[in-house]
Structure 1
Amino acid sequence: MNSIDSIFINFPELETERFILRQVTAKDSKDLYELYSDPLAVKYQQSETMSDMEQAKKTVIAFLKGYSNKNFIRWCISDKLTDKVVGLISLHSFDIFNFKSEIGYMLNSKYLNQNIMTECAIKVLDFAFNIIKLTKVEASINPDNKRSIHLVVKLGFKEELLIKGISFNFKTALFEDRVIFALQKDQYHL
């Protein structure tokens, strides 16, 4: 069994100073609805905002299934004091032959400008490089998403390329561009 397979045996809970990065549970449906119905939080996502709680409940099931099928690890960013889920962060698109994956994240807009995603991304990158033993983590970002670009640059990612028309957006029914940023293990120094 390689190190990537081993992370899909028991969900890897992580802890930062202010947050627990944990697996989603049914009780998180309300917080997920708040997140996915927030127009600013989903602005660069490729789907519509949620319109009812039933969609949030289905999202919980999809997250659990995605993990059990070894497709991704999607952590809820849960406040240590309140257990409120303020955002999500994930590793996905695992390439077991080249020991790399992609990172993704979204944050409830009520919690912007508090360095939450920086704090959580550092913990996820430590996990990716030191536990899973990945050699590269990539981020595929809409070129207009300045907040996301700022975050990955702050974390040490380097821009690798712009891919035109690579990502279909279900909201707009258009193909969008993506800028690919990458961080190599030997360049990670946070």
Structure 2
Amino acid sequence: MNTEEIKLKSETERLVLRPLQNQDYKRWLEGCLNRFPSQYKYDDNKMDLSGWTQQKFNYDVVSKFQKYADQDEAYVFGVFRKSDQKQVGKVEVETIMREEFQWGLLGYTIHNQFWRNGYGKEAVKELLNIAFKNLHFHRIEAHINVDNKPSIKLAESIGMEFECIRKGFIFEFDEWTDNLVYYMNSK
């Protein structure tokens, strides 16, 4: 898929979703550095950013994400607040399978200092619009740990439907864990 032909920037009432660019380094760094300590099991701890330079960001984030998009493997969008241009998180859709399936996987992370403002819901709803209209996916799934209540609540609040539990689906926390599968099909 030629990403130059695809509209990959979108806006909501309060947010801008777009691929990260080299000039986003300071906003990205600020968002990561200002995270609160982990709030629960599925909230990432602060990253060790001591080795992250502008060059490393350009190569390990911007170039890598662009390569994924160019190869139709994944589309990663920075989520920026319109009022002050702060990066509040990221959302992504990964290609599971194309051809007759047009099937993707949803991912989202909002920095915890921006929680409880509805940014996750707003960003994920817009990502689904992009995935269906611009990237031509037919089905998007979210794979959610069975005890990740905030993520379950988000998926349900945007109209994703629970489909099943996949037993021993993902290896994390040093064991094979079960995941809930929520999905949405294009209309």
Work out whether the TM-score is over 0.5.
yes
The 5-angstrom pairing of residues 96-107 of structure 1 reads 96-97=98-99, 98-107=101-110
Please give the secondary structure, in 1, of the residue aligned with 2:113. helix
State yes or no: 1:28 paired with 2:24.
yes
Aligned in 2, Cα 1:64/1:155: closer, same or farther, shift over 3 Å?
same
1:123 alignment counterpart = 126
Indicate which of 41, 46, 50 corresponds to 2:47.
Answer: 50
2:176 alignment counterpart = 175
Aligned in 2, Cα 1:112/1:61: closer, same or farther, shift over 3 Å?
same
Offset of residue 95 of structure 1: 1.8
The 5-angstrom pairing of residues 27-176 of structure 1 reads 27-33=23-29, 38=35, 39-40=37-38, 43-44=41-42, 49-55=46-52, 57=57, 58-97=60-99, 98-169=101-172, 172-176=173-177
2 CA distance for matches of 1:65 and 1:43?
31
2 CA distance for matches of 1:77 and 1:32?
10
Please give the secondary structure, in 1, of the residue aligned with 2:51. helix
Offset of residue 109 of structure 1: 0.7
- What TM-score comes out, normalization by structure 2 length? 0.80
Q: Quick check: 2:6–2:135 contact (8 Å CA) kept in 1? A: no
Structure 1 gaps, min length 5: none
Offset of residue 49 of structure 1: 4.7
Which is further off, 7-16 or 175-184?
7-16
Which is further off, 102-111 or 18-27?
18-27
Q: Quick check: 2:31–2:86 contact (8 Å CA) kept in 1? A: no
Aligned in 2, Cα 1:14/1:81: closer, same or farther, shift over 3 Å?
same
Identity within the alignment, %: 23
| Cα deviations by residue, 1:52-82 (Å, 9 ceiling, x for unpaired) | 2435723444323322332111000011232
Q: Quick check: 1:35–1:41 contact (8 Å CA) kept in 2? A: no
| Cα deviations by residue, 1:4-44 (Å, 9 ceiling, x for unpaired) | x2446556111111111111123434444455564538943
2 CA distance for matches of 1:101 and 1:24?
20
Please give the secondary structure, in 2, of the residue aligned with 1:54. coil
Q: How many residues align?
A: 179
Indicate which of 9, 12, 30 corresponds to 2:8.
Answer: 12
